[in-house]
Structure 1
Amino acid sequence: MIHVLDLEFQGIDHAIASFLIETSAGPVLIESGPYSTFSAMQKALGRHGYQPSDIQHVLLTHIHFDHAGAAWAFAKTGAKIYLHPFGATHMEDPTRLYESAARIYGDQMDPLWGAMEKIPGDQLITLGHCEALTIGDHTFTALHTPGHAQHHIAWELDEVIFTGDVAGVKIGAGPVVPPCPPPDINLEDWNRSLDILLERKAKTLYLTHYGQITEIESHIQELRGMLTDWANWIKIQWESGMGADEMTPLFSNYTGDQLRALGVSPHGVRQYEAANPSWMSVAGLIRYWKKKVS
């Protein structure tokens, strides 16, 4: 049984999800969410008869705060944390990760993400590409899927894949859009990772932002198109000499207009912006194009 838990990020519904899977060895969680949503996590778990200390296995798609920021709180009560090898060092000592984010978010760091504490190394379990992890009567397969982040894993369970950010952000009936934060955006890697998702022949994708996708081929085709569109828009402005500060409000208007043209309501635009802040994609895609020409 798979339960989608709404973490009510910043008081906004359907922006960040976590996934509760019931196994013969107890409940498994995919994505911890940020620590700022931990009270919402507690309430969501309680609705299914669990408390955080019942969670002894947490699978992370990657270590960005919206996906992994509260992992340490589960580790405090004994949980093992499963993740990509590139992410383990930063979870064992998140000082550099936290300080880097604090330079971006400033005094919004705590209200957005909350605390992030160290996780003992012996509770961090890393998996290679296509390596299997069996917990009770369920076997998860780690699919290394870079492009959004070098340390990204999509977790496969039978005919389901929990895609983190590699399959984009899609809220309700709105369009699918690509989250492109710095520093790891790589369009070539991302498209190869989308090929991996298609090759697995899953019947359902579970997006952290947000929910279930069953029309997988059309979803991925739409994502590829939007990823190309956003990347090319940024490239044109950047090559014209426009800086990030000037570009950011223009890009926010551009993406907002796209959403509204596709029938997304004002509340829906807020949901998309909470799940995938437009300014982050400006920074990430400028960095990508700079790497391409360096």
Structure 2
Amino acid sequence: MYHTLDLHFQNYEHAIASFLIETDEGPVLIESGPYSTFPSLEKGLSNHGYKVSDVKHVLLSHIHFDHAGAAWAFAEKGAKIYLHPFGHDHMHDPTKLVASATMIYGDQMDTLWGKMEGIPKKNLKVMEHEEVVEIGGHSFKAIHSPGHAKHHIAWQWKDTIFTGDVAGVKIEGGPVVPPCPPPDINIEDWLQSIDLILSKNPNRLVLTHFGEEMNPNIHMQELREILKDWSEWMKVKWEAGMSNDEITPEFMAYTAKQLKDRGVSDHGIKLYEAANPSWMSVAGLVRYWKKKLEN
């Protein structure tokens, strides 16, 4: 049994989650969320009888702020942080990560993500592909799954895979959509990672944005289709010479219509936008096509 901790990002329910698994060696946390939601995370832990200092193991899917921004606060209390090899240096010294994000978010950085501090190397544990860590009678397997980010891990636990972003965003029963921020989006890698996840025959997928999916094959097929749809849509606009600023309102309208056509309410569309901002996918997919077609 695992527990979903809703982090109430930007005061929205069901936008970002962390996941708590109780073991003989204390609680294991999958995803830390951003530091801006740390009070919600503390409250979620408290609801299950734990303090932050009780968490000695934090498993990260990748180092984007919405998944890993608060990891340092657990490391500060002695926790081991498990992550992809490509994420190690950035979590030890997040200077470049913060500078890059500040260029994107500007004065919204603190409101959205909160601060991010470096983590001592002794608290960082790099996980190789399919490496298993045993904690308190439980086994956690790291599945390297690039596409959304080159430093992405999905975590297999029993018949469950905690998917980070490789299985997309699906909120309150709406359709699945792919988060495509810069700089690492790679459609071919992502499609291969989808196949890799399914080859593990999970009974359930657990999405950071947001919650449980009990039909992995159907879910992943829908993700394949929408990933290709968004990618091809973006290619047409970019090849027509449109700028990101020109593409963004059209893409927001296009994706909002897709959600509405699938029965998502106006409030639901705002939730999707909070978890997966449209303009980020414009930047990521345009960069993908530039790199692909200019090489």
Pair in the same fold by TM > 0.5: yes
Matching residue of 1:41: 41
Aligned pairs for 1:94-133 within 5 A: 94-133=94-133
Alignment partners' CA distance in 2, 1:40 and 1:81: 20
CA shift at 1:172, angstroms?
1.4
Alignment partners' CA distance in 1, 2:211 and 2:198: 18
Alignment partners' CA distance in 1, 2:4 and 2:173: 17
Query: What residue identity is the alignment partner of 1:188?
Result: E
1:198 aligns with 2:228: no
CA shift at 1:205, angstroms?
0.5
Query: What residue identity is the alignment partner of 2:151?
Result: H
Matching residue of 1:91: 91
Matching residue of 1:16: 16
CA shift at 1:267, angstroms?
1.1
Question: Alignment partner of 1:253: what SS?
Answer: helix
Matching residue of 1:236: 236
Q: Deviations over 1:77-133 (max 9, x none)?
A: 000000000000000000000010000000000000000001000100001100010
Query: What residue identity is the alignment partner of 1:21?
Result: I
Alignment partners' CA distance in 1, 2:254 and 2:108: 25
1:285 aligns with 2:285: yes
Question: Alignment partner of 1:164: what SS?
Answer: coil
Matching residue of 2:136: 136
Aligned residues: 294
Matching residue of 2:28: 28
Alignment partners' CA distance in 2, 1:169 and 1:126: 26
Alignment partners' CA distance in 1, 2:271 and 2:132: 34
Matching residue of 1:245: 245
Query: What residue identity is the alignment partner of 1:120?
Result: P
Flag structure 1 segments of 5+ consecutive residues without an equivalent. Answer: none
Matching residue of 2:146: 146
1:175 aligns with 2:175: yes
| Two-structure CA RMSD over aligned residues (Å) | 0.5
CA shift at 1:244, angstroms?
0.3
Query: What residue identity is the alignment partner of 1:27?
Result: P
CA shift at 1:158, angstroms?
1.0
Question: Alignment partner of 1:202: what SS?
Answer: coil
Matching residue of 1:64: 64
Flag structure 2 segments of 5+ consecutive residues without an equivalent. Answer: none
Aligned pairs for 1:264-279 within 5 A: 264-279=264-279
147-156 or 258-267, which moves further after superposition?
258-267
Query: What residue identity is the alignment partner of 1:196?
Result: L
1:73 aligns with 2:73: yes
Q: Deviations over 1:128-165 (max 9, x none)?
A: 10001000100000000000000000000010000000
Aligned pairs for 1:1-12 within 5 A: 1-12=1-12
Q: Deviations over 1:149-197 (max 9, x none)?
A: 0000000001000000000000011000000000000000000000011
Question: Alignment partner of 2:133: what SS?
Answer: strand
Matching residue of 1:164: 164
Alignment partners' CA distance in 2, 1:2 and 1:136: 14
Query: What residue identity is the alignment partner of 2:23?
Result: T
Query: What residue identity is the alignment partner of 1:200?
Result: K
Alignment partners' CA distance in 2, 1:76 and 1:82: 14
CA shift at 1:73, angstroms?
0.4
Query: What residue identity is the alignment partner of 1:254?
Result: Y
Alignment partners' CA distance in 1, 2:98 and 2:46: 29
Query: What residue identity is the alignment partner of 1:198?
Result: L
Alignment partners' CA distance in 2, 1:171 and 1:293: 33
CA shift at 1:209, angstroms?
0.2
Alignment partners' CA distance in 1, 2:118 and 2:240: 43
Alignment partners' CA distance in 2, 1:50 and 1:10: 24
Alignment partners' CA distance in 2, 1:163 and 1:247: 29
Query: What residue identity is the alignment partner of 2:213?
Result: I
CA shift at 1:234, angstroms?
0.5
Matching residue of 2:188: 188
- Percent same amino acid among aligned pairs? 64
Q: Which stretches of structure 1, 4 residues or longer, exceed 4 Å deviation after superposition?
A: none
